[in-house]
Structure 1
């Protein structure tokens, strides 16, 4: 149940959105704000001081954690020589070394999210076309690899270094990368890699990390500085990431890690159709 409801501008309209949220915080005496989606995280990050000046805590990862996480090239640069964390090999679009790579390849926006802007490169003609089309836009190139997509939800309290994580294999995903059927995993290699990432980025709070599993070791696909769309699966398997995320900003200890049972969780979607009177449809067509 909600205590209050307010309309706000879209988060893409950053200044108007942030100003309206601050107004609501003053009106409702809000002390903590919890962003849930990438657009909210991106909008709030450069305006942290405005919230801090009003005594409002933004319950999200530190700015530097977000800065690295949201840039696929920086993720590769930070972890390319790490002994435990292995990012997918990555090149900038303009890099001449790309011309010598075997096809197929993947082109991705450096700051892409939810599978937006992805393009497959099958041959030299595709590469040449995309370089012209995307000239001046920050894109990276990665090999198009096979493997299982696995996600780790991880929460870390920066003040103590305490952390907890849970992994799952995504068996069925939506077109924008959200898992709808998953298998929970007891996989120490994934947990160790996620823990190393959280430590290297000095994480405070909960994020999710996507891995591609199928070779010698898990490869880091994406680091998302927010709750995953499937964080409810972690909750169903015995660990409350949301509550423990909030504990990071309340100075409280985290619950100890939980090893999940090897179960499969699935979301169920119900399709609903609506009957529209024929005369309403005809009127709409005439109006257009």
Structure 2
């Protein structure tokens, strides 16, 4: 089977490595494309090619269809333009090419916008932190006043972002020079943020939320059309550099199973939670393998193999998870490209 992964995050290498562990080279060939010649994922792929950097939407879809035919792709596992490709799966199927999408177009679009996602989520499926979406100073001030009545600490985050970009805890005591000199990270002075908003009539939607200050869980999952095949909970230490632990929190396990069924999730995906005064709360669903995917597979399961087995209609046996395992990742220096 020739499997193509188009441009995505560098952490896809862990998926490649686990597929190589599970299958003989003659059984699975991994093809990877990226817009940069130094993409680290190329090192773990069997074949690698450059893809055009400027194409999006229909133009990119047309290129993907042509690439699949030219390189005899059996299964397309999309990263870039995943939602748009999911919407047009029939065009690939007509050519005999299967597509492994995490969800349908509407769901993928919803997951990308946290304000819409949180607002639409049934609390019987999963609980989120309390939040208010804002896009101007007046709404921001109202949200801060309202949420401060019930929560000691608040935070903000753009409605659309990845890797936690833009997340900040609101600091009501210190200014930015103190943050700079003291090395304070992921916080922002409330009054200085307000001053910036005064200079901007409106801005992209952001969320004002209760700040959850407990443990964070990153749950790496394999599923098949709403059926959860396996989920590995990684509980992160509150102390930097102290690794993670394979956990088995029953409340989180229940939410993961319900979310998988509710959104009909498929393939490999990641769900994140954080603990607050009222218990674990859902942060987000990432419709892709996480940065810690390789660590999750140390718990006794090959999630990539499970996802592919289920896709192929093969029997999937529930693996035994090694709970309590302490894990971490060690960086390895590599040569991305010889000098030219």
SS in 2 for 1:237: coil
Query: Structure 1 residues 216 and 183, CA, compared in 2 at 3 Å: closer, same or farther?
Result: same
SS in 2 for 1:113: coil
Query: Structure 1 residues 139 and 162, CA, compared in 2 at 3 Å: closer, same or farther?
Result: closer
Q: What's the counterpart of residue 143 of structure 2?
A: 98
Query: Structure 1 residues 11 and 109, CA, compared in 2 at 3 Å: closer, same or farther?
Result: farther
Q: What's the counterpart of residue 338 of structure 2?
A: none
Q: What's the counterpart of residue 235 of structure 2?
A: 169
Q: What's the counterpart of residue 44 of structure 1?
A: 85
Contact 2:299 2:323 in 1 (8 A): yes
How does the TM-score come out when normalised to structure 1? 0.78
45-54 vs 226-235, which deviates more? 45-54
Contact 2:56 2:81 in 1 (8 A): no
Cα distance in structure 1, aligned partners of 2:102 and 2:289: 10
> Residue 27 of structure 1: CA displacement?
0.9
Is the aligned partner of 1:55 residue 2:100?
A: no
> Residue 112 of structure 1: CA displacement?
1.2
Q: What's the counterpart of residue 286 of structure 1?
A: none
Q: What's the counterpart of residue 25 of structure 1?
A: 68
Which residues of 2 match residues 1-288 of structure 1 at below 5 A?
2-10=45-53, 13-35=56-78, 37=79, 39-42=80-83, 44-63=85-104, 64-79=106-121, 81-82=123-124, 85-94=126-135, 95=139, 97-100=142-145, 101-102=147-148, 104-122=153-171, 123=190, 126-127=193-194, 129-130=196-197, 133=200, 135-158=202-225, 161-171=227-237, 181-270=243-332
> Residue 20 of structure 1: CA displacement?
3.0
SS in 1 for 2:237: strand
Cα distance in structure 2, aligned partners of 1:133 and 1:120: 21
Query: What is the aligned-residue RMSD (CA, Å)?
Result: 3.2
> Residue 68 of structure 1: CA displacement?
2.7
Contact 1:9 1:16 in 2 (8 A): no
> Residue 118 of structure 1: CA displacement?
3.2
Query: Structure 1 residues 133 and 48, CA, compared in 2 at 3 Å: closer, same or farther?
Result: farther
Cα distance in structure 2, aligned partners of 1:5 and 1:126: 44
Contact 2:273 2:282 in 1 (8 A): yes
Q: What's the counterpart of residue 277 of structure 1?
A: none
Q: What's the counterpart of residue 281 of structure 1?
A: none
> Residue 98 of structure 1: CA displacement?
0.6
Q: Which runs of 5+ in 2 are unaligned?
A: 1-43, 172-189, 336-340
Cα distance in structure 1, aligned partners of 2:205 and 2:215: 27
244-253 vs 199-208, which deviates more? 244-253
Contact 1:163 1:257 in 2 (8 A): no
Contact 1:163 1:195 in 2 (8 A): no
Q: How many residues align structurally?
A: 265
> Residue 195 of structure 1: CA displacement?
0.7
Cα distance in structure 1, aligned partners of 2:201 and 2:322: 43
